[in-house]
């Protein structure tokens, strides 16, 4: 699973261009006295921490308009899905990420952040070096009975791909680069967007969003074998969703990982902790927001000003000038808003991660330990007839660490929680098993023509001059979690 933060620059532009008028609405007579506005940010993941950071850059603390941010996070940590857990509960054995473990080079915001924050990023992990030294295969595409495609790490991989898929990969790559380049141009856009539909129109992405990836690839004349074995491998690895369910933009974004992926050596969560720290935001961990309500106050000039009351589960309330909701409405846990929100909710895709320390049984895959791929991706529709229940029991099965005692640390992503009975088929023995369920991604199904996206500004109606900024407006455009 990859991190999706490529939208943050767009979101920041939206904050600046749309909300700046609110910050300057009531100008004090004494120009030497700064205008101070308070912002509540609900959610301490990638969107929330980066929002605090970008706000502090747009409105510096020594400026004439100053912003103080407070991040409310219901968990005991920042970083959302980039959180790590100690292997076997023992930090001396290292940690492993429960979710987002890589980001693509095209993600300029994360690439910039690692450089600006002095974080060491790496393409080739110590694990990959060790795997290379052991001559273990890398990727294996498994249909429940056999591996349809395997990477050995040698130049023969290119020859095998050419033999199996012909020139189709080159044809797809040209189109994929064209689509991604249009998206990359948004980093240099000098204005913000209030609605996702404006971005879609600007990028001419309508056809990509209105069709399934499967239908779009057929229209392009992409070889079905390549689509089902390679392109669907990418979407199952990144979004745990198949080509017949995803819109076409999702497969284009998924394949960007082929251009290079990175990770922070000490853990990707460090990026988001740095976002929060450098923003100088007040951070309230283990604090669950349950209600947002309007309140009208009178400022020093006698003007009526609308503000927001943030109520938390512990019974306390705080008042803010602005609110940024940096969590999906559906799973925010907020039961009271100053306006209807049901129409803004989008369905999310459930993903389960299982971390295991033990000795995998390669015979389950018809392999030996020496020739067992270290990153197995199962096939999806329509290549599911070899699976017992007509559906692969897992999406990915990957080695993440080798321990000194000979055990491997494996991460498995699956559509359902994996029971011990099934894990016993995959492993000769297990000394540690850790499970976690995520609503990791919006369901990236095709968007019906004319169907509105959620707005960046949630408000009562289009005539309402105020509202809450909602980062989840990207839901079912593309995943930004």
pTM for the whole thing?
0.87
Instruction: Say whether pLDDT at 293 is over 80.
Output: yes
- Provide the β-strand partners of residue 436: 353
- Per-residue pLDDT reduced to its tens digit, 153-172: 665 667 778 888 888 999 99
| Spatial contact of 320 and 39, defined as CB atoms under 8 Å apart | yes
- pLDDT on residue 31: 59
Higher pLDDT, 137 or 314: 314
Q: What is the mean pLDDT of residues 336-359?
A: 91
Is beta strand 396-402 parallel, antiparallel or unpaired with respect to 375-378? antiparallel
**238: exposed, middle or buried (C-beta count within 10 Å: 0-12, 13-18, 19+)?**
buried
- Per-residue pLDDT reduced to its tens digit, 110-137: 999 999 999 998 875 545 555 555 556 7
Q: What is the mean pLDDT of residues 439-466?
A: 82
- pLDDT on residue 310: 97
Closest CA to 359 of 423, 436, 434: 423
DSSP 227: I
SS3 of residue 348 by DSSP: strand
Closest CA to 254 of 232, 229, 274, 276: 232
SS3 of residue 107 by DSSP: coil
pLDDT-derived band at 152 (thresholds 50, 70, 90) equals confident
Higher pLDDT, 278 or 472: 278
Mean pLDDT of the chain: 86
- pLDDT on residue 18: 35
| Spatial contact of 435 and 452, defined as CB atoms under 8 Å apart | no
The proportion of the chain whose per-residue pLDDT surpasses 90, expressed as a percent, equals 55
The proportion of the chain whose per-residue pLDDT surpasses 70, expressed as a percent, equals 89
């Amino acid at each position: 699973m990859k991190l999706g933060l490529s939208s943050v620059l767009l979101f920041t532009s939206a904050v600046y261009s749309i909300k700046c008028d609110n910050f300057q609405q009531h100008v004090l007579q004494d120009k030497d006295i700064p205008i101070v506005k308070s912002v509540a940010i609900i959610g301490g993941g990638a969107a929330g921490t980066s929002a605090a950071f970008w706000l502090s850059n747009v409105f510096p603390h020594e400026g004439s308009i100053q912003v103080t941010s407070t991040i409310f996070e219901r968990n005991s940590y920042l970083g959302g899905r980039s959180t790590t857990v100690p292997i076997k509960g023992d930090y001396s054995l290292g940690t492993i990420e429960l979710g987002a473990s890589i980001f693509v080079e095209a993600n300029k915001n994360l690439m910039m952040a690692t450089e600006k924050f002095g974080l060491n990023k790496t393409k080739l992990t110590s694990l990959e070096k060790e795997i290379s030294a052991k001559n273990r295969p890398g990727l294996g595409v498994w249909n429940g009975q056999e591996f349809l495609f395997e990477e050995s790490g040698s130049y023969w991989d290119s020859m095998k791909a050419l033999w199996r898929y012909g020139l189709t990969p080159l044809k797809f790559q040209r189109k994929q680069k064209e689509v991604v380049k249009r998206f990359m141009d948004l980093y240099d856009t000098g204005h913000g967007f209030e609605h996702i539909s404006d971005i879609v129109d600007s990028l001419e992405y309508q056809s990509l969003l209105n069709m399934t990836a499967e239908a779009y690839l057929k229209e392009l004349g992409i070889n079905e074998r390549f689509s089902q074995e390679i392109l669907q491998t990418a979407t199952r690895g990144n979004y745990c969703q198949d080509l017949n369910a995803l819109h076409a933009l999702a497969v284009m974004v998924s394949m960007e990982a082929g251009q290079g992926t990175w990770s922070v050596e000490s853990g990707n969560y460090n990026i988001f902790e740095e976002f929060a720290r450098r923003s100088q935001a007040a951070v309230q961990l283990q604090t669950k927001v349950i209600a947002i309500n309007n309140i009208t106050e009178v400022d020093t000039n006698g003007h009526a000003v609308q503000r927001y009351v943030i109520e938390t589960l512990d019974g306390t309330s705080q008042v803010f000038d602005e609110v940024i909701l940096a969590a999906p409405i559906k799973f925010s846990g907020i039961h009271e808003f100053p306006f209807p929100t049901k129409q803004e909710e989008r369905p999310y895709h459930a993903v389960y991660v299982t971390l295991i320390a033990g000795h995998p049984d390669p015979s389950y895959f018809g392999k030996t330990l020496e020739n067992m791929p270290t990153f197995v991706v199962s096939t999806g529709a329509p290549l599911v007839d070899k699976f017992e229940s007509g559906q692969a029991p897992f999406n990915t099965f990957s080695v993440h660490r080798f321990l000194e005692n000979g055990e491997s640390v494996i991460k498995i992503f699956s559509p359902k929680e994996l029971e011990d009975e099934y894990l016993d088929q995959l492993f000769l023995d297990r000394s540690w098993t850790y499970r976690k369920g995520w609503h990791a991604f919006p369901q990236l199904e095709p968007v019906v023509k004319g169907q509105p996206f959620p707005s960046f500004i949630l408000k009562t109606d289009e005539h309402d001059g105020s509202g809450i900024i909602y980062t989840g407006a990207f839901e079912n455009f593309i995943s930004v979690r």
